[in-house]
Amino acid sequence: MKDQAHTLRKIFEGTTPPCPHVLSVTSGKGGVGKTSIVVNMSIILASRGRKVLVLDADLGLANIDVMLGLTPKYNIQHVLAGQCALEDIILEGPEGIRIIPASSGIQELADLTHEQQLCLMNSLDYFDQDIDYMIIDTGAGISRNVMYFNAASQRVIVVATSEPTSITDAYALIKVLRKHYGIKRFDLIVNNVSSKVEGDQVARQLSLVCDRFLGDVVLETLGSIPEDKNISECIKGQKAFVGVHPAGEASKRLKRIVSRMEQTSRPSSNGNLQFFLRRMLLNQMKGSYHAGHSVSRSY
């Protein structure tokens, strides 16, 4: 593993040219289809000529490789242990997307140490592949690792469903990121809706609560995705639904969501890897991890 001092010097020099847009896809509650959205969104971007790197940041419960039927020989655990370099574990998925796989059933990775975080930063710093988008599939909830990756990203996309627990937990996630990490802008995708009207209702409900209790938070709705039995069948078959059912309504909606996301891209000066690395380190130095504490569900 290369010298970490090199990473720290580059972080504070801030001289690296803008590179990829770095965005996280996250949720307050598990089981809302977040990973499926990451996989299919990445494939859509790649099919449009974008070079995409996906980081499976649910570090103790890997999902991306499983969803695509891939079998990695090595994963992020081996990188953090210094057994191999990041480029040695990269997988290639549909449309040429590249994937950094996580590990499964390794409890220690659910809460990275400071040394492991520096190791990950160092690995990403030396990852000099040409990419347009780095998409981070975080775990669900408000654990320290979830906050770690969301707070370092240029753009945070929250996934929720119409279930009351999903809406409540999505608000709790936004609340923690606003109060403890200063994030004011979020994007929202409402998944598995019975109709566009239902998706709009969920978005309106979350926006009203954020306006009332968080004040300066901006929640932009990218769109909603309908419930579709074909999606669950594709997941069981370890296939991406945009590849198997490209003309399906879910695929059409997600393609529109990706188009809107690209049209509203944040300034690239806040989207490159050096920005990502710098924010990860500064969050550590400020000791601003409050997500491990209990968060009240009261508004």
- Residue 255 domain flag: yes
- Residue 172 domain flag: yes
Count how many domains the chain has: 1
CATH classification of the domain holding 115: 3.40.50.300
- Residue 39 domain flag: yes
- Note the pLDDT of residue 203: 98
- Note the pLDDT of residue 264: 85
Domain membership of residue 211 as a residue range: 4-284
Express the helix, strand and coil content of the chain in percent, nearest 5 each. Answer: 50, 15, 35
121 Cβ contact partners less than 8 Å away, ≥ 6 residues apart: 4, 7, 11, 277, 280, 281
- Residue 291 domain flag: no
- Note the pLDDT of residue 156: 96
Q: Is the pLDDT of residue 1 over 50?
A: no
Q: Is the pLDDT of residue 296 over 60?
A: no
- Residue 191 domain flag: yes
- Note the pLDDT of residue 17: 46
Mean pLDDT lowest for which of 77-86, 175-184, 186-195?
Answer: 77-86
Q: For the chain, give the mean pLDDT.
A: 82
> How far out from the chain centre does Cα 275 lie?
16
Q: Average pLDDT, stretch 89-110? A: 78
Crossing angle of helices 196-214 and 164-181, rounded to 10°: 40
pLDDT in tens, 31-48: 999 999 999 999 999 999
Structure tokens that stand for 294 in this block: 């209990």
Q: Is the pLDDT of residue 205 over 70?
A: yes
- Residue 293 domain flag: no
- Note the pLDDT of residue 77: 79
- Are 144 and 106 in contact, with CB atoms under 8 Å apart? no
- Residue 297 domain flag: no
- Note the pLDDT of residue 235: 94
Would you say how long the chain is, in residues? 299
- Note the pLDDT of residue 295: 43
